[in-house]
Structure formats: C-alpha cells, structure tokens
Structure 1
C-alpha cells in the first residue's frame, strides 16, 4: 500500500489499474455529460488511449482531491488556480476546454459508482484506525485462530495447510446452525401394512 503526499493531500493508493476504455465504456463513465456539446469529443478523447484509474483513501478524500485538481475548465484553472493539477497538465483544444488530464468523483455516491465501474469486485468500506484493526483481530480472529494453530503444532500433519483449512471450517463460530435430523424410519416401519381397527371390523 503506497502513501502519496500531493499538495497537502496524504492519501493511500488502495488499488491501481491501467485500462483502455471503449467508446461505450467512456460514454457510460461520463453519462452525466450526456447531451452537452462537448460530450462526443470527451468520449472520443477518453477512448483514444490508456487511462490510469486509482482508488485513493483519505479523510474527506473526495473534496480534497477535487480541490487539488482545480476547476474542470482548463482556462479557468490556469487563470485562478495556476498551481492546480489541471492547470499544469490540462490543455485546450479546438473541440473544447475539458481535456483537463484528471478526473475526480463529484461526491461519495459517484465515487462508489466509479470505483465499481473500474473495480467491480472491490468492497468499499470505511477506513479503520490502527487500534480499531488490532481490536477487531483480538475480538474476531484470535479466539478462533490461536486454538487452531496450537492444535496444528501438536498434530503436525503431513499437509498442514489443508489440515488447518479443514479445522477452521469445522470450528467456524459463524457457521450456520443445522436443525436436528429427524429420526429415520426403520425398514420394518416403512414396509409395515396398516392394520384395520376393531371398529372398522365390527362394521
């Protein structure tokens, strides 16, 4: 896990991916721009070469990253925020002023959508402090793992990884509780022919 300091933003890069978007994927990613005059040029530009997608983690990360990037329009960034990333790396073209080199989610909901767009299997959760991680390990992992490792040391099986996996599976404290099995009928009970009652014989 890497830590980067960019203009006062201390962020962890949780995951990184380089990908080349198809025009359809670029249109889906920037669907909020649909109907605007620059939308076709934006889609063509974003699908013209590889892009690097990053998931950053920091407190108030969305707002801090957007401040660091600067305004979406390059001319505005260069005029009023000359030290912003878009002022430094964005460029204007005859097609518009939105080739600003960087993208940032507008809010938390959009961040979740865009993370799952590039990383469909990623689970997004809140950042934990170091003491919270240690507390979680002590409460939820150590009570199960410590006895398993102790038993493994005494048993010394030929396949320790397989043995440990089977042990943890059979001693899973969060496993489902199975209902007690109903008593099976004996062969004699299943094959017994019902006998008529005395009342039915009297009739």
Structure 2
C-alpha cells in the first residue's frame, strides 16, 4: 500500500490575472495529482495574517500579506503519493533568482517575479497542509480523506470572502 498525501496549492494574485498561466498550471496539476477541491477566493487582511502567522516577525510579512490581498487567488487541495514533496518540486525554490538558475523549468522560475510574488504556495509538511487547508477550505472534511487527522484551526472566526 502506498502513502497518499494531501497538500494545499495556492496560485498567487499575479498568476491568477494571467489566464494562460492558470490554464498551464491547472493542466500540470491535473496530470500529476487528484484535485480534491478547488476555488477562487479574495484573501482578506484577516485571512492573510492568519495564513502567514509564522512569518509575523519577519521583514517581508507586511509586503507578503498586502500582496496576497491584491487580487484573487486560486486554491487547490491536491492528492497523490508523496504529494507535498511532488508539488514542492514542481514549484521549485522559494527564491525566484535561485529557481531561475537551478531549476529553470519549475513554476517559480517560469512565472515568479520576486520572493514575495513567487507565483505559488505549497505546504511544507503534513501538519502545515492540514492547518492551511483548514484555513482556506473550512468546509472541506479532511477526515474523509485517507484517515487524515483533524485540523486544528486557530483561525475559526475568520470570514471567507
């Protein structure tokens, strides 16, 4: 038996404005993963602050949370064997300049503009995936997927746009 995982994939606002890029990235997702859920959403100030809470004391926090509020994002729950690692490999390095030189065909090298506007987000662990899915997809029943544990969501009072 293989180990199926789920992860959150998020296309950032500058990508969602580019319909060609969205089409290409959705096709890439469909060929590599089962898409369990998808939606477009407008990220509010409260949602972005909750989502990026671990970066609150970092110099880029305000720039990142403001950028995420600048337009619509597309969110996906992906599932496959080794899903987290697989999606992170497709995204490439977080820093766009590094992505361009080390993995020129990855998503961030092709569509990223800067470290904040790096095209996409992917959970970095199972714990992060469960937390982030709970924030972006509060209506999604994770317990129905491969016996995943319950999400502990500290942001239950956030209203989704």
Work out whether the TM-score is over 0.5.
yes
In structure 2, do the counterparts of structure 1 residues 20 and 5 end up closer, same or farther at CA, with 3 Å as the change threshold? closer
The Cα of 1:5 is off from its aligned counterpart by: 6.3
Match 2:113 to one of 88, 91, 97: 91
DSSP 3-state at the match of 2:37: strand
Cα distance in 1 for partners of 2:118, 2:36 equals 24
Report matched runs for 1:93-172 at 5 Å: 97-124=115-142, 125-126=145-146
Match 2:56 to one of 23, 27, 34: 34
> Scaled by the length of structure 2, what TM-score is found?
0.69
List alignment gaps of at least 5 residues for structure 1. 128-203
Greater relative contact order (CA < 8 Å, ≥ 6 in sequence): 2
Corresponding residue for residue 58 of structure 1: 80
Contact 1:12/1:56 (8 A) holds in 2: yes
Cα distance in 2 for partners of 1:98, 1:50 equals 15
Corresponding residue for residue 73 of structure 1: 95
Cα distance in 2 for partners of 1:21, 1:117 equals 11
The Cα of 1:34 is off from its aligned counterpart by: 1.3
> Scaled by the length of structure 1, what TM-score is found?
0.55
- Specify the structure having the higher radius of gyration (Cα): 1
